[in-house]
Each structure stands twice: as C-alpha cells, then as structure tokens.
Structure 1
C-alpha cells in the first residue's frame, strides 16, 4: 500500500470506525456490491473511493468491492481462519474467476492480462485448499458428532447439517471442474504453471475429494437411518415404561400374551436350530449330492488332522527375529523443523532403524506433509521441485517461527521413531 508511509498511518486508517465496519463486512462476505457499500455508509461514496485510491479496497469493474488481497491474507493468517463451506460464498468466488477470464480476453494490455492470470491462479489454489481442508474436517466431524452427541435429535440434526455441507462441497467441486474444462482459456493463455496447476487440482484435489464425499454421503445416510431406527425403538420403550409406571401395562396392552408366545430376550444371540433331513429326501438325487458334499468336507477335515500331527522339519523354520518398524511422525516432524534441510531430502537421509526403501520413504514424506500442512511451506515454483527416480516432488520447508522444539518433543527417544 504505497499510500501509507508508516505503520502508524496505516493503523490510524484501519482504526477508523467506518473502515472497521467495511473490513468486517468484506472479511465475512469476501465481495460486496458498490451500491450496497454506499448505502451502508449513508451515501458517502467519496469515502469509499478514497479507500480504493489508498489501496485498502479494490474495485475492478466499478460494481464489486473487495478487500486488498494482502490485507485479506494478513487477516486470515493472523486469525488462523479457514474458509468454512457453510458460510462460503460459492457463487461469488466462481463468478469472480469467470469475470477475470472474460476481462482477460477483453484486455489489450499484456501486463494487465498477466495480472488477471496471476489472480486466477491464486484463486484456484485457494479453492483447492478450501475443498481439501473442508473434506477432511467434515469426515472427522461426522464421526465425532455421531459418537459423542447424547441426544438422538441433536445427533440427527448435526449429521443432517454435515450432509448439507457435503452437498455444498460437491457443488463447489462441480463448479470448479466446469472452469477447468474451459480449454479455450487455457489454450489461449499458454501458461505452463497454470496448466500444471489445473492438472494438480483435477487429480490431487477434486478427484479424491469427490470420492471421499460420495463415501461420506453413504455413511451419513446409514447413520441417519440408524438414528431414526433407534429413536423409534426408544419411543416404544418409553411408552411401555410409562404404562408400567402407572400400572396400566397389562390393562391397555396385550403384553402378557406377547411374552407368553415369544420368549426371546433383547440383545440375545440369535438361536440356531439343527434340522435333520428326512430319509425320503436323502434317497433322492438332491440328497445324494448333499451326502457327497458332506463326505468331501469330512475327508478334507481328516486330512488336515493327519497333517497337523506330522513332525516339522526345524530347518524349515525361520528363527530370525522380525523387526517391525513403527514410525512416530510427530517426532520426525520436530527433528525436521530443527534441521536446515527441505522435507524430501530430510526423509531420504533419515536414519531409520530398519532398512526403508525409497517407496516407503516417499509415503512418510507425503504423510508428514499432509498431517502437518499448517506448519509447512510448499513451493510451487518449477525450479524448486526435486526429482528422483523419475518422480517429481514439491519443495517443502518449515514455516518461519517453527524452528523451536518443545520440551516434550526433546524427551522423545530415538527408539520411538522407528
């Protein structure tokens, strides 16, 4: 923001009551129409245009107003806020990307075209992260609410709310896939980084997210049906209990007749009964086939008993101890943060107690990068990518400020890592 020459000037401007109201609204809704912003400030259009001139607000087409991208990123990073799909304005984000694509074709200035492409790439990256984080959180919350909610109605409402979030996520995925299918735009831009980003989104973000959401939707339907069934059983039990407490159970129901005919108990194991076939059935062709089948099973069982009694050759027994590797990802992450290497090089050189091949080390690299994504920085630049055994890996480094290790981590023994 070149309009401000010092931090004091910037803080004074942002501390203004009107500016705080504007930032709060745009932080929640991401984008607001220019006319709505003027109405909120009682027609003070001049004040809004002054904020646009200072770089606090951005208005690309004189119709929509947004917060400056640097200011928005600072607020989200400082508050550790992630886009929640429940409050996420899908149409606004998708329309924003489509509007920039149209402006790209209408613009004649090459530098302005490049700015539109950069903003589109930033928005696509952001949407990919939003989808992945919300799918992970949604799967965790569904299981958590189903297991921890005591009241069946509360549990059902929470599960249904998660189902609505899953539907919105699918809607966002479909909208984003529609943009990525715009071959005319990607062919016209001819940006290698943009094409690589589009392929990365399709195969590493959208496709796995869609698969996980379909599986999650099936689980949600099964959970809801199970909750409804338990509610129906619970209501019947409560009705029986109420009648019993008022000594009216025998009077208004046929409980004695039902219990006299059915002696099964709730939660009892299913009884199994043996039925002996008749002699007439055994003399038939079907009975003969059944006898042959049972005789074959009996003969197979006797052969197993004979083999079990044979003396084993001790030379065929492997007496060497088998060492099983159990990886402590948290300990490895802490050691990586205190090192000066990138994550891939660190994992490739890590001294595991058991011999670990390249494929297993690659799995550990991916696992740590996904589990501790908030503590890592991912470089998307082509020159930063690492190549080994014909595969390409992103450069992952610790975020600044994560170099210090906790005391609890220092107490972890090396034996815990392997």
Structure 2
C-alpha cells in the first residue's frame, strides 16, 4: 500500500477524483457500487481507480468499490452526518488534557510549557464540538429507531442501548465541566490562565450546558418511547392470546369476556339510534294538505293495479360483436427502476429505452418531463446541459 508523500499530493488526488469520491460517499450505504459505473465517472481511465486503491482511499472487493474506513469517517465527521455515537472521543480528550496539565506543571522551559498549553486548548475546542455532535446523533438515532425498526424487541433493546450511551455522554460532560471549573486542577487554571484560555472555557461551558439540556429532553423522549413500546407489545400479546383462544373455541369458557363486554358502555357497543319524524296531531287535524298526502300514500300502498312495462326492441347484432382495441401503455415506474440501475444520463436512457412500441422524439421529451417531475428526489440533477434536435435538456443521473 502506498502512502501520500505530502498534503499537496493528497489534496490533488482527492480534487482530481472528486466526482467518483462524491458518488461513493453519497452511496456509502448501498451494498454494491459497480466498478463499471466508477470507470465511467473517471472517463474510463482505469489507472485513476487503481491509484485510489493503491493509496487506500478506495477499497475494491471483487467488482465492487467502497470508500476506505479512514476517509469515510473523515468525510462523515466533517459533513456532520456520522450516525455513530462514540463517547470515548470525549474521554480521550479529557485524559489528554489531564496529562498535558501534568506536563505543563512539571516543565521549566517556557517554550515547551506553551506547547503543552496549546494542546490543552486544542482538546478543549474539540470536546465541545464532539459533545454537540454526539447529542445530535443520539437524538437522530433514537428517532429513527422508534419510527423505522419493525421488531418491538429489537427496538426496545436499541433504545435501552442508546439510553446507556446518553448516560455515558452525560457523565463525561459533567466530568469535563468539573475539570474546566478548576475543581480538580486548581493550580493549572490559576497559573496558565490567559485571555484565550478563559474564552475557550466560557464557550465550552455554554456548549456543555446546551448538551446537558438536550440530554435531559432526550432522556424524557426515550422514557416515552419505551412506555409506548411496552404498551403496544402488551396489547399485541393480549390479542395473540385472545386469537388463540378464539381459534380453539375456548374464549368464552376460559375468559370473562362476556361479562366484560356486558359492563362496557363504550359508544361503539351502543345500537345505532333512529330519529323517526312524527307529524304533530294538531297539524293532521287542521291542515287539509297533510290529509291529502296521507290519502295518496295509503292509496299507493293498497293499490293492486299492475302496470305493464313496455318492451324494448331487440338489440341489433352489430352491437353484440366483440371489438378489441389494444394499446401499449408506458409504465413510468418500470422506466424509473431501469434508469436507477443504469449509469447513463436520463435523456439518453429514455431515447434508447425499449418501450415495446415505436416512440416519437416528442413523446420522449414528455416522458423526460414526467420522470423529472415525479421522481426528482431519486435523481441527481446537474448544472450541465446538452442539446438534441434543437431541444436543450439538463444532464440528470441516478443518485
């Protein structure tokens, strides 16, 4: 494995292959990133991919590529999209601060003392940022787990594990607050205090206080989610037992469901009310129109007269002949699935797609517009444009 000889070489390599690296990062959760598609992104220059593999920027597994863990973690942390809650980072920086404080107090050379002080300041800056990121990632993971995990037992276990993470982060925040408050290292913060260190401590305390408030809210959210899971799982378990007894025809003999339903006064068990419209007797006695209406209704009910319905003419045989008209419909969902599996741009894919019938250029433009309007969230719409038969269109690729 090769290593970069300088920062300039590293940045030049990342910049030159930014298109491929961006696609690999955006599709980092997809199980496979095809080598042929990557080859298209580097203008079919296989040496570029080979160089990335040699420098351990990209790892190749058969015909698939993926970002190396080091660069993937770096990109996720810089872009603040990391989903892993790692409280050990905070603990490492706390221990680093304590060690450098000891070195600072034991050192007599002013130059080396300043280097230890600078490392303490760097660690203080990192702790606040890492704590805030952990709180954000923790909140997002809790929400995603409760909403997206279908298995109740796994969902409960994950939430309990995340609650342990929350408690660990909260403990480390309190430890950091005690450290910068001078409770453990009184001598250092009195001797080494300068304007920059004091400002860093004030900023860090504000960040830790914000984290503390958010963690309290996260704890309340976890408790609420666990109570919901417990209630839902209990209801489901009861329904399963009732379903089993019902299937065994033992529900009435082994339970008191009949007595419970008899005592239940819920509206759903009440009969539907009826509201008959009764005509007042005073109106029937005084209103002649009401009497005439009653007579007509009574006459219709007691009438034995049978009316003969007129017979329609026979239906012509021409109307009974079966006429079949076939039309091939274009399934946009199938076109979309085919496009996401390809590496081509959208317009060329639509023009070359096999629809089962001949499609005109105007129909291709219509399909292109329909695809963009319905599935734009699945596409990567670039700023590049192309022309075909005096028609300008944007270059669109699958995400």
TM-score range, shorter chain: 0.3 to 0.5
Larger radius of gyration: 2
The TM-score, its normalising length taken from structure 1, stands at: 0.44
The TM-score, its normalising length taken from structure 2, stands at: 0.46
